[in-house]
Amino acid sequence: MAERGNKLNRFLDRWAGIPLTLCSAGLRAAMGTSALAAPARVQSVGFLCLGAIGDLLLFSSVIAGLRKHLPDARFYLLTTKGNASTVPLIPGIDESAAFGVRQVPAMLSWLREKRLDVLIDSSQWPRLGAVLSNLSGANRTVGFETSGQCRAYGYSYKVPHRADRHEVENFVALGRSLFPDMEAAPGLALPQEPPVDAAQADAMLESMAGARLPRIYLHMWPSGIHAWLKEWPAEYWAFLAKRLYELGFQVCLTGAPGDAQRNVAFLEAHADCPAVSLAGKLSLPALAWMFSRGAAVVSVNTGTMHLAALAGAPTVGLHGPTNPMRWGAWGKATKSLLPHTGACAYLNLGFEYPRPLESCMGGLPVEDVLNALKQLGVYQSRCES
């Protein structure tokens, strides 16, 4: 997700994006917009998701909710290249395309050729989503009015983005601007059969353990700006892995291809850590399939945490700077943990870091994680039944 953390992109989005949003809104108003067709007659709906993997996973709630109201409409999804790997897991999409965030002409061309009746922009703070919406040619557009971001000019329906509710609830509010009675929750289109890479990893893990053991997946690596502030201490991960191994679990370390070497370095530095690295070996659908059959997932706050929870795995989210009320795992069996000490839970949109930058993650003890797993019934049945 280098595009999201790119300082130049963020600079351009603010200092060029705000005037471009105003100008594009004026152009849209000058061209005029036709009346929104009755919901039953909407034939084409577009969705913009220019955020991270976690954003798209949570935004699936809107897509699912609108599909219930518009079963015959054609749904189009535009993403960035950074979250495009998530698209196969999103139910209800008929056609999608992925672009780099600076490929604005190509994005506009793709949107305009769809002749959209409705376009819903999931962007919370970037002005790019608003500019694309204003110039998309869509009959009606929906987007967030976010305090201090100067981005809501031109939308047909402006939805207040609130800091006092979970992001799923904010996303659902976008859909309710069209259908006030819409009920929805995020979900995954899990593979019915194990993907090839999942089957290979499954066989490898069983061979290494000499048996089919219940697996717990650990995801150590956050993303985004100042990602190091969201990292749990390495020695805590090593201790947790040893405790889980003693309880009879096979411990697996997940990660993107870029995390593979970091996992190797971690295992070399902790030679007694009984864990196997899967970083870079699994596609996102394969990882979701593995999670759906795992005993549990423990993850820092990142897209992998959301993937695990939506796949149905008991999920423990380790939150430091990120506010779990806003960005906690969404699922039936989840626990969100915060450190006991230090400044934490201050991130709303993702960039509200206080100075000086100080990590609080050392204040979240391993025992809290083990207790959370026990409360979720993950290892209680293995050591007490």
- Say if residues 253 and 263 touch (Cβ distance below 8 Å): yes
pLDDT value of residue 5: 57
Residue 16 banded pLDDT, cuts 50, 70, 90 = confident
pLDDT at 21 > cutoff 80: yes
What tens digit of pLDDT does each residue of 70-82 get? Answer: 999 999 999 999 9
Question: Where do you find CATH 3.40.50.2000 in the chain?
Answer: 2-176, 196-384
Mean pLDDT, residues 289-312: 98
Instruction: Tell me how far apart the alpha carbons of residues 309 and 316 are, in angstroms, rounded to a whole number.
Output: 9
C-alpha angle 301-14-164 in degrees, rounded to nearest 5: 45
* Whole-number pLDDT of residue 12: 78
Kindly state the DSSP code that residue 349 receives in the 8-state scheme. S
The CB-side HSE value for 139 (13 A sphere, CA atoms) comes to 16
Average pLDDT, the chain: 93
Largest pairwise CA distance in the chain: 70
Homologous superfamily of the 196-384 domain (CATH): Glycogen Phosphorylase B; (3.40.50.2000)
The domain made up of 2-176 has a fold known as: Rossmann fold (3.40.50)
- Quick check: 300 pLDDT over 70? yes
Taking 90 as the threshold, does the pLDDT of residue 31 lie above it?
no
Query: What is each CA distance from 294 to 69, 202, 314, 331, 385, in whole angstroms?
Result: 34, 11, 8, 15, 19
Q: What is the 3-state secondary structure (H, E, C) of 96-115?
A: EEEECCCCHHHHHHHHHHCC
pLDDT in tens, 198-211: 999 999 999 999 99
Q: Which positions ≥6 away from 225 have C-beta within 8 Å?
A: 4, 5, 350, 351, 353
pLDDT in tens, 107-161: 999 999 999 999 999 999 999 999 999 999 999 999 999 999 999 999 999 999 9
pLDDT over 90 at 1, yes or no: no
